[in-house]
Amino acid sequence: TALKAGNLDQLGSDVTLPRYNRDDVSVGILHFGVGGFHRAHQAMYLDALMNEGRAMDSGICGVGVMPGDRRMQEVLKAQDGLYTLVQKHSDGRWEARVIGSIVDYLYAPDDPETVIERLVAETTRIVSLTVTEGGYNFHHVTGEFNVDNPEVRHDLDADATPKTFFGLIVEALARRRAKGMAPFTIMSCDNIQANGDVAKASFVAFARRRDPELGDWIANEVHFPNSMVDRITPVTTDEDREQIRTRFGIEDGWPVVCEPFTQWVLEDHFNQGRPAYEAVGVQVVDDVMPYELMKLRLLNASHQALTYFGYLDGYRYAHEVCQDELYADFLLNYMVEEGTPTLAPVPGVDLDDYRRTLIERFANPEIRDTLARLCAESSDRIPKWLLPVIREQLERDGEIKRSAAVVASWARYAEGVDEQNEPIEIVDRMRDELHEIARHNRDNPLAFIENREVFGDLIDNERFVEAYTQALSRLHQQGARATVESVR
Ligand code: NAD
Chain segment 26-66, per-residue pLDDT in tens? 999 999 999 999 999 999 999 999 999 999 999 999 999 99
Beta bridge partners of 87: 95, 258
Name the residue with the closest Cα to ligand 1, atom 12.
33
Instruction: Quote the CA–CA distance of 299 and 307 in Å, as a whole number.
Output: 12
Listed in sequence order, the residues at least 6 apart from 155 whose beta carbon sits closer than 8 Å to its beta carbon are 162, 163, 164, 166, 167, 206
Q: Which atom of ligand 1 is nearest to the CA of 39?
A: 26
φ, ψ at 251 (rounded to 5°): -90, 105
pLDDT for the residue numbered 401 = 98
Amino acid at 127: V
Strands laid side by side in the 227-230 sheet? 227-230, 263-267, 283-285
Please name the residues in contact with 87: beta carbons below 8 A apart, sequence gap of 6 or more.
Answer: 94, 95, 97, 257, 258, 259, 260
Measured CA to CA, the distance from residue 137 to residue 202 in angstroms comes to: 7
Q: Do 276 and 55 form a contact (C-beta atoms < 8 A)?
A: yes
Mutate to test the pocket of ligand 1, among 32, 88, 131, 232 (most ligand atoms within 8 A of CB): 131
The CA distances from residue 124 to 77, 212, 227, 282, in Å, are 21, 25, 20, 21
* 155 touches ligand 1 (CB under 6 Å): no
Please indicate whether residue 37, judged by its CB atom, sits closer than 6 Å to ligand 1. yes
What is the pLDDT, as a whole number, of residue 208? 97
End-to-end CA distance of the chain: 52
Q: Where does residue 427 fall: left (phi above 0), alpha (psi -120 to 50 degrees), or beta otherwise?
A: beta
Give, using CA atoms, the residue closest to atom 20 of ligand 1: 131
* Dist. CA 316–CA 372, nearest whole Å: 7
On whether the CB atoms of residues 29 and 62 are closer than 8 A, the answer is no
> In this structure, which topology does domain 5-285 adopt according to CATH?
Rossmann fold (3.40.50)
C-alpha 67 – ligand 1 centre gap (Å): 14
Give Cβ neighbours of residue 320 (< 8 Å, ≥ 6 apart).
310
In the chain, list all ranges with CATH 3.40.50.720: 5-285
- In the chain, CATH 1.10.1040.10 covers 289-487
Q: pLDDT value at position 158?
A: 82
Ligand 1 site, residue 180, Cβ cutoff 6 A: no
Alpha-carbon dihedral 130, 133, 138, 143, rounded to 10 degrees: 140
Q: Which atom of ligand 1 is nearest to the CA of 34?
A: 9
Q: What pLDDT is attached to residue 140?
A: 72
CB-ligand 1 contact for 190 (6 Å cutoff):
yes
Pocket lining: 33 vs ligand 1, CB cutoff 6 Å: yes
Contacts of 198 (CB under 8 A, 6+ apart): 136, 138, 188, 192
pLDDT at 231: 97
Q: Determine if ligand 1 sits within 6 Å of the CB of residue 68.
A: yes
| Amino acid at position 100, single letter | G
Pocket test for ligand 1, best of 30, 31, 37, 115 (most atoms within 8 A of CB): 37
Q: Which CATH number fits domain 289-487: 1.10.1040.10, 3.40.50.300, 3.40.190.10, 2.40.160.20?
A: 1.10.1040.10
Q: Which residues of the chain have pLDDT under 50?
A: none
Q: Is 34 touching ligand 1 by the criterion CB < 6 Å?
A: yes
pLDDT value, residue 42: 98
Q: Cα(404)–Cα(393) distance, rounded to whole angstroms? A: 11
